[in-house]
Amino acid sequence: MNSYTRRQMFLASAIAPLLRGARAATLQQVHLGVTTDEIDEDLRTAAIFLHQHGLSYGELRSIWGKYNTAQPLEKIREAKAIMDEYQLKTSIADTAFFRGSLPPDTPEGKQALDQQWTLLDEAMARAKILGTDKLRIFAFTYKTGETPAAGAYARIYELLREAGRRAKTQGIRLAVENLANSYVWTGAQSADLQKALKEDNVGLNWDPNNAAEKGEIPFPDGFRLLDPARIFHVHVRDFRRSPEGKVEWTAVGDGEFDNTAHIRALLKAGYKETFNLETHWRGPGGKAASTEKSLAALMKAIERG
């Protein structure tokens, strides 16, 4: 038995208790990965890490020091070759599409939107090379301290509908991440988006830890508002609140979030998409060591389930 098979058996045994009482499943159905630049900017280094830990997925955000959408197509083809070499799949390709201020309905705003549509086209071309049908996008942001205008939502939803229509012609799904200082920050706001948008290729990149930054209890409160069938991707992390109430990222297992119960609830609801460890936390050993610590704790948390 080779070492890769042993690692897969270890991970499968860790996940098995989580699945008992919910439904029969395999490690392949759990689809667990890591954001590659949370390991290393060098994609080969990150791919070796994923392979050595028996994982089959990587979320591609920044590679070789640049956002993947800023890399030329030949570098994206190189990235795909590296992923193939280590038997890895791209779970989702990250973009900064619609991450920024909502452009005003003016000639200058139209020019800004035109730049966003170009970004979407470039991102879809890269997703196809990478072999994924999912792009991570956003729903516009506002500055810290500002109060989001309630009247902006109708326009945001219409722009997301247009994005969905453009993406559908290319066979691409768009996963809107709930993000700090975004018009879609919490589980409640994510649920509102799901209700407003009927396009079946526009869904969520659900990040419960981001929702906690707004003060929401993301699980179970925020999660129970969501339609799991419209969740395309899930970020896994952990946090704790400081005495002042500020959310701080921690290693998985050292914080407040119940990843075991959250993952169990998703699987029970029929979720079959990808999970992705995105620690954001940095320990003294650097990025790879911090991710490895969180990954080990995540697997133990799952095993206890």
**CA distances for 235 relative to 164, 203, 238, angstroms:** 22, 14, 10
The pLDDT of residue 303 = 67
- Which residues neighbour 21 within 8 Å (Cβ) at sequence distance 6 or greater? none
pLDDT along the chain (305 residues), means of 10: 48 48 46 96 98 96 98 98 98 98 95 98 98 98 90 97 98 98 98 97 98 97 98 98 95 95 92 96 95 91 63
Residue 25 CA, chain-centre distance (Å), reads 22
pLDDT for residue 29: 58
Closest by CA to 34, choosing from 292, 305, 303, 297, is 292
8-52 pLDDT per residue, tens: 555 545 544 444 444 433 445 578 999 999 999 999 999 999 999
Using left for φ > 0, alpha for ψ between -120 and 50, and beta otherwise, residue 140 falls in: left
Let me know: does 259 contact 236? Beta carbons within 8 Å. yes
pLDDT of residue 4: 43
HEC profile for the chain?
CCHHHHHHHHHHHHHHHHHCCCCCCCHHHHCEEEEHHHCCCCHHHHHHHHHHCCCCEEEECEECCEEHHHCCHHHHHHHHHHHHHCCCEEEEEECCCCCCCCCCCCHHHHHHHHHHHHHHHHHHHHHHHHCCCEEEECCCECCCCCCCCCCHHHHHHHHHHHHHHHHHCCCCEEEEECCCCECCCCHHHHHHHHHHCCCCCEEEEECHHHHHHCCCCHHHHHHHHCCHHHEEEEEECCEEECCCCCEEECCCCCCCCCHHHHHHHHHHCCCCCEEEECCCCCCCCCHHHHHHHHHHHHHHHHHHC
pTM: 0.91
pLDDT attached to residue 7 = 54
pLDDT at 44: 98
Q: Are strands 231-236 and 202-206 parallel, antiparallel or unpaired?
A: parallel
The pLDDT of residue 18: 43
The confidence score (pLDDT) of residue 27 equals 43
pLDDT at 23: 41
Q: Please report, for residues 26, 247, 281, the alpha-carbon distance to residue 244 in angstroms, rounded to integers and kept in the order given.
A: 42, 9, 19
The one-letter amino acid at 23: R
Which residues have a Cβ under 8 Å from the Cβ of 134 and sit 6 or more positions away? 91, 92, 93, 127, 172, 173, 174, 175, 232, 233
What are the two backbone dihedrals, phi and then psi, of residue 234, each rounded to the nearest 5 degrees? Answer: -135, 130
